[in-house]
Amino acid sequence: MKDILIDVAKKAGNLLKIRFNELIEGKYIEVNEKTKNDFVTEIDIEVEEFIKSELENLKIPIVGEETEKTITSDTYIIVDPIDGTRNFMRKNPHFAVNIGLIEKGEPIIGITYDPIKDELFFAERGKGVYLNGVTRKVSVNDDLSKSIIALGLPYRGISILNNMMELYKKIYLTGSAIRHTGSAALDLAYVAVGRYDAMVEFFLSPWDILPGILMVREGGGKVGSINNKRPEEGWVIAGGTLYEKVYNIVCEVFEK
């Protein structure tokens, strides 16, 4: 199964790279706004349909961001054809294909493929996390002043804007370098392999995060949440050695 999913992720990524290069060269693509500040391009749909066609012989239901969001089975494949659509449509080369195998709500296999950098992040439950076939681990840095932390908040999280601004301030004042990249999938993958020390992002969707949640755990990190939420519901705090410190800062802000 893992080889099939990896192969499809790479093929989908290659298609995505072709379309991105066409966009760079000036080709027009159709863009629609699903809800305020939540965009979908014709390429999102094309790539998701391609993945579905490649996997149809597996006879496993596919839950995709753009074409099918209904879960009808305990075992299914989750797909985000472009995590970082706004980056893609604005010719910013930071986006990824996200694919996960889910059983009873838990990710069993997680794949995040960045076609521009040709970086494939992969995890299988109980077998570790890999970047281009090489085993990796989460960061062991324990100093916030030397850390890199990813923060993000989609527009639908405007209700907690003030909390997030306070969180940004508190983390900034520790001396941490903050990143807001536009791709939660890559943020989690970067935490999993030690490039980032932690990430805090809310109001995400399952196809954004389930593969990455598995990767962080398989890399030896922790994943948690707040407000009586589960991280799988889209409220995610993830990290390596600095997880507890970051988690405590988040709790200070949101439990006032």
Digit-coded pLDDT (tens) for 72-97: 788 999 999 999 999 999 999 999 99
Give residue-wise pLDDT tens across range 131-160. Answer: 999 999 999 999 999 999 999 987 788 899
pLDDT score at 156: 81
For 114-143, what is the mean pLDDT? 98
pLDDT score at 227: 84
Residue spans per domain, the chain: 2-136, 144-254
Percent pLDDT > 70 in the chain is 96
More confident residue, 226 or 33: 226
Architecture of domain 144-254: 3-Layer(aba) Sandwich (3.40)
Summary mean pLDDT of the chain: 93
pLDDT score at 41: 86
Evaluate whether 82 touches 44 at the Cβ level (below 8 Å).
yes
- The CA-based diameter of the chain, rounded to the nearest angstrom, is 52
pLDDT score at 37: 65
Spatial neighbors of 218 by CB under 8 A, at least 6 apart, are 123, 124, 125, 126, 127, 128, 129, 192
Architecture of domain 2-136: 2-Layer Sandwich (3.30)
Which 3 state secondary structure label does DSSP give 205? coil
Evaluate whether 212 touches 184 at the Cβ level (below 8 Å).
yes
Evaluate whether 123 touches 108 at the Cβ level (below 8 Å).
no
Q: Which helix (H) or strand (E) covers residue 209, if one does?
A: helix 206-218
Give residue-wise pLDDT tens across range 167-205. Answer: 999 999 999 999 999 999 999 999 999 999 999 999 999
CA count, 13 A, side-chain hemisphere, 254: 20
> How far apart are the C-alpha atoms of 126 and 129, rounded to whole Å?
9
Spatial neighbors of 36 by CB under 8 A, at least 6 apart, are 155, 156
pLDDT score at 228: 87
Q: List the structure tokens of 180.
A: 């807001």
